[in-house]
Every structure is written in C-alpha cells, then in structure tokens.
Amino acid sequence: MPTGVALRDVRERLFDAAERVLLRDGPSALTSRAVTAEAGCAKGVLHRHFTDFDDFLAELVYDRTARLETQAAVLRGTAGTGSVVGNLTDALMAVFGSVAVAIVALITFRDELRARLRRTWPVGVPLLAEAVNMTAAYLADERELGRIDADADVDTLAAALIGAAHLLFADRTGTPPTREAVERTVATVLSGALAQRPLF
C-alpha cells in the first residue's frame, strides 16, 4: 500500500477514535492510550505519525475545522431559497450537533494545545472562528439578494449567532436544544436585520 494512503488511513482512524472518546467521555479522558485503544491499534502507532499527543490533537482540530468547508458550501447554496432563519437554523444545528462543542471544550481544557494552535491560528478558537466566517459569508450573500438589510453588519451578526448557538449546545451531557429553540434564537439575533421579519 502506498505510504500516503496508509498515513491518511491511520490518521483518519485515530481522529475518528479520538472523536468517539471525546464525545463519550469528555476532554479529561482523551489520552494517547485511550485513543489507540479505541482505534484498536498499538500505542506506538500514534507517536509514529505525530510528534507528540498535542501535535495529534492540533491536527484533529484542524481536520474537523476543515470539514466546515463542506457545510459552508451547502449553506451558501441555500441563499435566496427557503427562509434565512430556517437556513441558518439548519446550519447551526449541523455544526453544533457534531463534535464542535466537544472540540471547543478540549481546546479550553488543554493549555498546551491552545498554545500550539495560537502559532498558526492567533485569534479565536479555530472551529468557532471558521463557523463565524461561514455564517458571515452566507449573510453577505443574502444581503446582496436583498433578504438582509443593506446596512446590516454581517460579521457582527455572524459572531452573535455562533456565540448564542454555542451557549445553547454547550452542555454536552444535557439534552440538546430543540430545533424550535435554535430557530427562535436565530430569529431574535436577526430580528433587526431581516428585510422580511419572521413570524415569531
């Protein structure tokens, strides 16, 4: 098997295992031993592909952040269709219904990981910052189409939406918010910016 393919397969296997441990047991349980046990491979496999465990975790964060590009394309493809509130509700539920909240908790929990991420991502938490960019780009598209007021500050609205959604989903052990709760939050944040006001 070509080396590039083997490396990619091992990385994905380890990342998927780390995600399962993180979602099931939280950031304090995420150790190299837990990851390799979950992945069903020898402990040394992780250290053959990554400098150390924080290097592995940083690559996990970057990998999961990069996956938002697909969601961003889907969201921007909805511009001009459906409702702005509905489109953003779907997008936020997809982002925060995934591993995003657990990744944010992991970054908060591990000082060395945070310091390492700062070297290449100096401002903000990578996954949340990318979610803000995704949301702002969509809102800008809707503004061009006249569904968001022409003078709306889409960057501030996007940050407010991501912050509010993160608070709704932050308790990973509790009951996730309903679609109605997320939709109400989106409608409230956007209430002064929508060209057509939602019926709430």
Written as tens digits, the pLDDT of the chain (200 aa) is: 344 445 458 899 999 999 999 988 888 899 999 999 999 998 889 989 999 999 999 999 988 888 888 899 999 999 999 999 999 999 999 998 777 888 888 888 888 888 888 888 767 778 888 999 999 999 999 999 999 999 999 999 999 999 999 999 887 667 889 999 999 999 999 999 997 654 44
What contacts 68, CB < 8 A, 6 or more positions away? 95, 127, 130, 131, 134
Find all residues with CB under 8 Å of 175, minimum gap 6, and list them: none
How is domain 53-190 classified at the CATH fold level? Answer: Tetracycline Repressor; domain 2 (1.10.357)
Other Cβ atoms within 10 Å of 108 Cβ, number: 12
The pLDDT value recorded for residue 3 is 41
Q: What percent of the chain has pLDDT over 90?
A: 57
Q: Do domains 1-49 and 53-190 have the same CATH topology?
A: no
Angle at 6 between CA 100 and CA 106, to 5 degrees: 20
pLDDT of residue 2: 42
Write down the pTM of the prediction: 0.82
pLDDT at residue 4, rounded to an integer: 42
Q: What is the pLDDT of residue 149?
A: 95
Q: Is the domain 1-49 a CATH 3.40.190 member?
A: no
Helix (H, G, I), strand (E, B), or coil: what is residue 64? Answer: helix
User: What's the pLDDT at 191?
Assistant: 93
Q: What is the pLDDT of residue 38?
A: 95
pLDDT at site 1: 35
Domain parsing of the chain, residue ranges: 1-49, 53-190
